[in-house]
Chains A and B, each alone.
Chain A
Amino acid sequence: MILADCLAGLVVAACALALIHMLRSPLWSRAVSGFRRRPGAMFAVAVLGLYSLVAIADSFVLPARAGQPPETILDKLFARPQERTYSAPLAERTSEATPQPLLGRHILGTDGLGNDVLYRTLKGVRTAFLIGGATTLLVLPLALIFGLLAGYFGRWVDDAVQYVYTVFDSIPNILLLIAIMFVLGQGLLQMCLALGLTSWIGLCRIVRGETLKLRERGYVTSARALGYGSGRIIVRHILPNLLPILIIYATLSFSRLVLAEVILSYLQVGVPEYVGSWGNMIDAARLELTREPVIWWNLASATVAIFLLVFSLNVISDELRDGIDPSLRGA
């Protein structure tokens, strides 16, 4: 868990750095300032902001009282004792002596085991962010290094890289994922590693193709005519021009990763049960949906939470692309 916490810190730091860097460059800040005029974009930003707050609240551990397990801020605010049985949304709490209005209720009900659904849903946010973020942090360097080298240098470097990813690609992804998970064991980190190893190929291909195109651009030729070395050309003149594609790909793959977690957890090879995750919630629906009356609110909450995150990410990636592309194309 300590490693996971460090990783979470890294993800947050990387996101913050990227944000600051972006906002300082006029090109991006103009794209971002266009957000203010679009209600859809503002909504997406608000959702992401809210989710981030939840994830952060779930990352800070409060000083533990004697004999108690450590609690995060989120636990302190939202944790509810387990009920004896499930209950529909807005059900009153029964395990506490003095019921309070609203917050004394299970706003989203409790699941088949009697756990508060709102709390479970909120616990899933950090897991989703960790899986999306940490895996992207693993995928980006892998894909960038191999894609850039293959695209820029061509010849045997390209052949070698293509060979490696064709081998990876010829194994069905889901099988490879499950195999890696079995080898590494269940856990958040293991999952990020497994997802990272299976999903860098798509981006690597895109980076390679894009680099092949950019290599022929006038400014790269000029850069070579100015006597710049390959390193400088790749880092300063090709990489920044890949950014729009990277951002779009990263946001889209973030949502894909969140969904992959759901699938793996459903297949019982995902994150362990004690880690709250939307995948585990949906997995629980297997039993809950066959009950009478049907427990739909657990499944619905997880789905809405996933939908909001995926939707917001897609809206933001679209907006960013629309904002940045015209200026990059010189229009």
Chain B
Amino acid sequence: MSVLEVVGLRTLLRVESAEAPVVDDVSFSISPGRTLGLVGESGCGKSMVAQSVMQLLPPPARIVAGEVMLEGRDLLGLRPAQMRDVRGRRMGMIFQNPMEALNPTLTVGYQIRESIFAHGRGVGRELRSRTLQMLREVEIEDAEGVAAKYPHELSGGMRQRVAIAMALANRPAALIADEPTTALDATVQAAILRLITRLQREMGLAVLLISHDLGVVNEAADDVAVMYLGQIVESGPVDDVLASPAHPYTQALFASRASGLSRTRRLATIEGVAPDAGSWPSGCRFHPRCACAQEICRTIAPGEVGEGSRRALCHFAKLGAGNAK
């Protein structure tokens, strides 16, 4: 059974009095102890998916269809107070910029304690020991010393560890990590990634890992979903997809990575730029930039093809055994 299951999620964004989809019929599911990597170019709607799942969308955006099931419960049907209880207790989230993620006026220890007692779990001495235990779990050695510090006294990597400790303090079932390592330098990135993977194993967490970076996804994810303009265009087990990408967009992503054009391994070296929400092309959204585009792609949107966990959204998807290039 999956911990987090999203079915047919559709989120609209209001741009100058017109509403356009930013997340369009997105479905995925994550089992306990597994990580789904969500990759795609900047602006394709990855963060919107995360915010839709958490129901923390900015005011111009709203969810209009779909289901978000957490541990068998449909979150979209919950009242705001119930949803608040789910956040931080059953489902945690960490963000891209750890320098901003902690309140500068409160000590680290207080902020972790707060994440526990805000959900009415633990008092007094127990709260304190839980806090120190959480700090040790995120591999901070001098837990007592760090608990007494203010965020500005810590490095970015340390702050991200603290943010993780806060998100996981109530032992949630799922963790959403929106580019948790993008703002960190390479060695710290690797350490944080290892930490997330380790905690996930120990706690049996379902993790949604959003990233620009194929390297990150390759290292930490079990499955991958590739997003383009609000849709998941390809998904499957990480090894399969990496070995034989079926969708032209995925192929282009990997090619741009393999060719070493981009030393940062970001997905920004495909010809052309992704259009903004509201001005998406007809037919297959990728056709203006697709190397394999045919006449049909211009007018008719492709349906999903594939079997089992392996899926792609393309008229000419190269699924199956014989597609290794």
Contacts and interface: CB of A to CB of B under 8 A. Distances in A.
A225 B304 CA distance: 33
Contacts of A219: 100-104
A105 interface: no
Interface string B61-78: 000000000000000000
Contacts of A286: none
Contacts of B97: 218
B105 A226 contact: no
A27 B87 contact: no
A26 B150 contact: yes
A324 to B, nearest CB: 10
B100 A217 contact: yes
A222 interface: yes
Contact of A229 (B59, B84, B100, B152): B84
Given A225-B56, A227-B119, A327-B152, A240 B103 contact: yes
B119 A328 contact: no
A146 B80 CA distance: 24
A154 interface: yes
Interface stretch (B23-31, B88-96, B263-271): B88-96
A232 B103 contact: no
A43 interface: no
Interface in A185-228: 217-219, 221-228
A223 B114 CA distance: 10
Contact of B152 (A236, A241, A330): A330
A330 B105 CA distance: 10
B88 A328 contact: no
A330 B99 contact: yes
Nearest to B84: A227
A328 B103 CA distance: 9
A331 interface: yes
Nearest to B107: A26
A237 interface: yes
A25 B166 CA distance: 22
Given A225-B167, A226-B87, A226-B167, A240 B106 contact: yes
A225 B87 contact: yes
A226 B115 contact: yes
Interface residues of B, number: 31
B139 to A, nearest CB: 20
A48 B202 CA distance: 58
Contact of B118 (A27, A232, A241, A327): A232
Contacts of A328: 104-105, 152
B105 A222 contact: no
A221 B106 contact: no
A225 B106 contact: no
B163 interface: yes
A289 B171 CA distance: 77
Nearest to A30: B150
B276 interface: no
Given A26-B150, A226-B115, A228-B88, A236 B106 contact: yes
Contacts of A229: 84, 118
B63 to A, nearest CB: 16
A225 B119 CA distance: 13
Nearest to A218: B100
B54 interface: yes
A225 B54 contact: yes
A227 B152 contact: no
Interface string B36-69: 0000000000000000001010010000000000
B101 A226 contact: no
Given A217-B100, A226-B166, A236 B114 contact: yes
B93 A225 contact: yes
Nearest to B98: A218
Contacts of A223: 103
Given A27-B105, A241-B103, A227 B118 contact: yes
A243 interface: yes
B72 to A, nearest CB: 19
Nearest to B50: A225
Interface in A7-52: 25-27
A229 B117 CA distance: 12
Given A222-B163, A226-B167, A241 B105 contact: yes
Interface of A: 25-27, 154, 217-219, 221-229, 232, 236-237, 240-241, 243, 327-331
Interface of B: 54, 56, 59, 84-89, 92-93, 95, 97, 99-106, 114-115, 118-119, 150-152, 163, 166-167
15 contacts: A154-B59, A218-B95, A219-B100, A219-B104, A222-B101, A224-B56, A225-B92, A225-B95, A226-B92, A227-B87, A227-B89, A240-B103, A241-B104, A327-B150, A328-B105
